[in-house]
Amino acid sequence: DTGVSQDPRHKITKRGQNVTFRCDPISEHNRLYWYRQTLGQGPEFLTYFQNEAQLEKSRLLSDRFSAERPKGSFSTLEIQRTEQGDSAMYLCASTSRGEAGGAYFGPGTRLLVL
């Protein structure tokens, strides 16, 4: 068990470009979360999957953001037409437990939009 992994760890892009991040949860964890963390803030919830079903989306997740978990294993988060305000750390977490707080977090993908 290698923990939650995320790729890439860092991404620099120009405004207007599309970016995609990947999260590999701990194997057999059926619940997967995406959070966003900006400097000096706590993580903010973006979206939640149970298996392949996306059950909850935050109002923070504008229509430029899309997340998938096609086979109930890894997940991708895509941001289209990036804006400077999208610069943040994007954190993925997974768990097999029932409550949201029992999740294991990955190291995050740090995005910088120039």
Residue 74 makes contact with another protein by CB under 8 A: no
Range 90-103 burial, b when 16+ CB lie within 10 A, else e: bbbbbbeeeeeeeb
Residue 90 makes contact with another protein by CB under 8 A: no
Residue 56 makes contact with another protein by CB under 8 A: yes
Give the Cα separation of 103 and 32 in Å (integer).
Answer: 8
Q: Name the residue nearer to another protein (CB basis): 56 or 78.
A: 56
Q: Residue 21 class from Cβ within 10 Å (0-12 exposed, 13-18 middle, 19+ buried)? A: buried
Residue 52 makes contact with another protein by CB under 8 A: no
Residue 99 makes contact with another protein by CB under 8 A: yes
Can you give the binding site for another protein, defined by CB under 8 A? 4, 33, 35, 40-45, 48, 55-56, 58, 91, 93, 99-108
